[in-house]
Structure 1
Amino acid sequence: MRAIGCLAAAALLAATGCGGDSDDTQVQDQKIEINVFWWGGEKRAEMTEQALALYTARHPNVSFKTHWQGNQGYYDNLATQAAGVDGPDLFQIDDNYLTEYAERSVTLDLTPYATSGALDLSKLPDSLAKYGQVGGRQVGVASAENTPAMVYNRTLVRQLNLPEPTVGMTYEQLFTWATQITNATDGKVAGTMDPSADYKALWLWLRAQGKELYAGKQLGFTTADLTAWFQMWQTARDTGAAPAPSVIKEANGGDVTKQLVATGRAATSFMWSNQLPELQGNTKDELALVSYPGDPKGQWARASMYWSAFRGTRHPEVVIDVMNFLVNDPEAGKILGTERGLSPNTDVRKVVSEALTDPTARATIDFENAITPRFGAAPAPPRRATPRSARCSPRPRRACSWAGSPPSRRPRSF
């Protein structure tokens, strides 16, 4: 981890408009409290707070005020906090909101810190680092790398003497395979979950055809594309490859405990690779990972979520150092594990992998490492056509104005 003493460049950074009130000239002697906000469950909270405690152990003058919650309502609360006097200095955000918050001038421009080395992105895959950029500015740093994965019931497949699904199989091949499972179990277990309501499944299907979910602030696909997508899955239901809508509905909320591969109602679920350990904990059958159907070039090294800094923070250099610590420090990486996904730092990822004792967590890393070289280039983060009427000013601190409606709600998957 780069020392917090990187503050030698503080005056230069402040002059370029990188942060808010730069009163950190004597930061090593000050008592500083950094507010951190994220979504997730208790396990994520425990790991994050342990990592922050390690930072405090190394920098006794820095303490943390942490806030976390489930994903439901997270962005409503983030918008409210950003407009108030006690908003987060460091917060978790995903790619559905990154552009919007950057264009509303809520996020701190991280570019000068990345250029100076105070924020070291050299060990991140290039596409992963660039996917945190908006308009040529670095506005977020991946807290982890993740990729969509089709989780399948290996125990069931082997009991039925069927081949396991493979990387690069087409959707037509998936449906043929899935129908065999449905027939072999007399319909008790559907061959595959129906992810037609899942934006990431649609996105990867489009990318395999050379299209995108977004094109700037416009949709990157046509009505005919969307119709073909839904018709494909209607055929899968009609032929028995996928279950009835009443069965599918229970899994569409994203609750891991209700995913069909965990409840035994389907042989596959379309999830994120880092969710394998939690899924495995809900079934006695062995689960395994494979990529979504289609050419894996449609996928990319994707940030499961980002760390971003609030533009009005009083302590931008400290916040950057904490961010750098969470991303690049091996001991922090061991604490954080794979709960958010794989460490974005490839060196830290190796250290974490060697320290893992959970076979399902190790399987997640092995899968990601094997599939990543086959990925394509990252697209630009989504951009919403929303009014750019909200602005944040670094002086006075926390002065954010959300004219009109706050950033829109979207369901979370992590």
Structure 2
Amino acid sequence: MSGCVPTEKSATQASKAPAGGSQENVELRFSWWGSQGRHDRTLKLIDKFQQLHPNIKIKPEYTSFDGYWEKLSTQVAANNAPDIMQMSILYIKEYSDRGVLGDLTPYLNKELHVDDLNKDVLKNQGTIGGKLTGVPVSDNASVMIYNKEMYQQAGIEPPKMDMTWKEYFDKAREIKSKLGDKVYGSFDLSTSLEGFMYYSFSVGDTMYKNNKLGYNDQTLKNWLKMWDDARKEGIVPPAATTASSLPIGNADPNKDALMKGLVPIMGPQFTATFPAYENVMKDKVDMVSYPKDKNTGSVLETAMFLSASAKTKHPKEAAMFLDFFLNTKEAADILETDRGLPENKKMLEYLTPKFTDRDKKMVKMLEHVSSIQPSWYDAGPKGTGEVTKLFEQTVQKQQFGKITIDDAAAEFRKEADKIFEKNN
């Protein structure tokens, strides 16, 4: 992290000065995903911004993580994208390459200040094709979130930090044997391309190379066999249960197997989603790093970005809102760590004295992952969103026994590389 931006005074001034001296009435649509707690905080932030800028109205649009991307894709296709949108590392490159996201560079050091944000993230993840299309909101590390009470109920030690994959499945086997038929030791992560990517990093493989899949086929076969064995043993749910459960990583704890008590541990998740779980499951949850092999499976990444539409009629006012969101104490007081630990160094320092035990856990986890030589999240070439869905569909066929592991690995590579070739 490196710092410099505006002084505290100049950041506040930026949030109060109307763009270009204009007082015309402006309406901006702002879309985001998250849990109800995030929605409530963001609506309060919008109210505060509108108090400071009576001529700018922010119209909120929000949903869960899985519903968000389907809705955004439909809006973009209909030429009706929101003016401001929360953007994931999963999709920022794809939406940038498609010309959906606007270049924020013309507004730097005027309506929008970024000097207190991580320069490497701005350069390597927020800037795509020479255009700054996303400003980072918060820092993140991939983790597994677990229910402490379920391990206590079983009378066994909870998962430990930096456990190996063997230790992970041993723990799953142990808790399954203690808690009976209605509980499984782990969710079946096999359909998660993200989960597989972290596994690939842990065994020393890569995910993408030269706009194609970059891993060795044996790595995918090993991943699928690991989960297939666990499924046959009964320590993860059967295929039908997994398919009927809500998506992994939907960022809403009300909608997944951990909250339902089906499993005691869930992932891949992130430090940024820990507050959402903690809000719902008070004092019941904790987190550990993603399982490892010769390397850690945990990665570092930006929790999310804020972007403006390339077609917004009010780019200056959109940049003003982004500046308020990222650079002001008013916004920090409202959001706290709901979206993760702030990327803005000064806002992080401002909030630190107010940190709860939950916030301190997030800081400690980020520091731990940073110290164990993690990989950086690889968002992949253009088309990765489509490839992610393909991975889930292909692995589901293998889960249900419709194709073999070898066939699944071959089919996925063939079809994924077709998608990448079409898009790049």
Q: Could you say which TM-score interval applies, normalised by the shorter chain?
A: 0.7 to 0.9
1:67-116 deviations in whole A, cap 9, x for unaligned? 333445544543554466764221122223211221122211234545x4
The verdict on how the C-alpha distance between 1:385 and 1:245 changes in structure 2, with shifts beyond 3 A counting, is closer
Match of 2:117 among 114, 124, 127: 124
Residue number in structure 2 paired with 1:92: 86
> Match of 1:90, as an amino acid?
I
Structure 1, unpaired ranges of 5+: 9-23, 387-406
CA distance in 1, matches of 2:31, 2:282: 35
Residue number in structure 2 paired with 1:371: 369
> Match of 2:264, as an amino acid?
A
Match of 1:267 among 264, 269, 278: 264
Give yes or no for the alignment of 1:149 onto 2:143: yes
The verdict on how the C-alpha distance between 1:150 and 1:83 changes in structure 2, with shifts beyond 3 A counting, is closer
Give yes or no for the alignment of 1:192 onto 2:186: yes
Give yes or no for the alignment of 1:256 onto 2:256: no
The verdict on how the C-alpha distance between 1:61 and 1:110 changes in structure 2, with shifts beyond 3 A counting, is same
> Match of 1:261, as an amino acid?
L
Q: CA contact under 8 A between 1:169 and 1:294: conserved in structure 2?
A: yes
- TM-superposed CA distance for 1:173, in Å, is 1.5
Give yes or no for the alignment of 1:26 onto 2:21: yes
Q: CA contact under 8 A between 1:176 and 1:241: conserved in structure 2?
A: no
Q: CA contact under 8 A between 2:87 and 2:305: conserved in structure 1?
A: yes
CA distance in 1, matches of 2:71, 2:184: 39
As a proportion of its length, which structure holds more helix? 2
Residue number in structure 1 paired with 2:330: 331
SS of equivalent residue, structure 1 residue 196: coil
CA distance in 1, matches of 2:281, 2:35: 20
Moved more, 374-383 or 172-181: 374-383
The verdict on how the C-alpha distance between 1:66 and 1:185 changes in structure 2, with shifts beyond 3 A counting, is closer
Q: TM-score, normalised by structure 1?
A: 0.76
Give the paired residue count: 373
CA distance in 2, matches of 1:318, 1:364: 33
Q: CA contact under 8 A between 2:184 and 2:235: conserved in structure 1?
A: yes
- TM-superposed CA distance for 1:7, in Å, is 9.2
Give yes or no for the alignment of 1:208 onto 2:206: no
Q: CA contact under 8 A between 1:216 and 1:382: conserved in structure 2?
A: no
The verdict on how the C-alpha distance between 1:83 and 1:26 changes in structure 2, with shifts beyond 3 A counting, is farther
CA distance in 2, matches of 1:132, 1:227: 33
- TM-superposed CA distance for 1:200, in Å, is 2.0
The verdict on how the C-alpha distance between 1:51 and 1:194 changes in structure 2, with shifts beyond 3 A counting, is same
SS of equivalent residue, structure 2 residue 158: coil
The verdict on how the C-alpha distance between 1:198 and 1:75 changes in structure 2, with shifts beyond 3 A counting, is closer
The verdict on how the C-alpha distance between 1:252 and 1:321 changes in structure 2, with shifts beyond 3 A counting, is same
> Percentage identity across aligned positions?
25
Residue number in structure 2 paired with 1:341: 340
Residue number in structure 2 paired with 1:13: none
Q: TM-score, normalised by structure 2?
A: 0.75
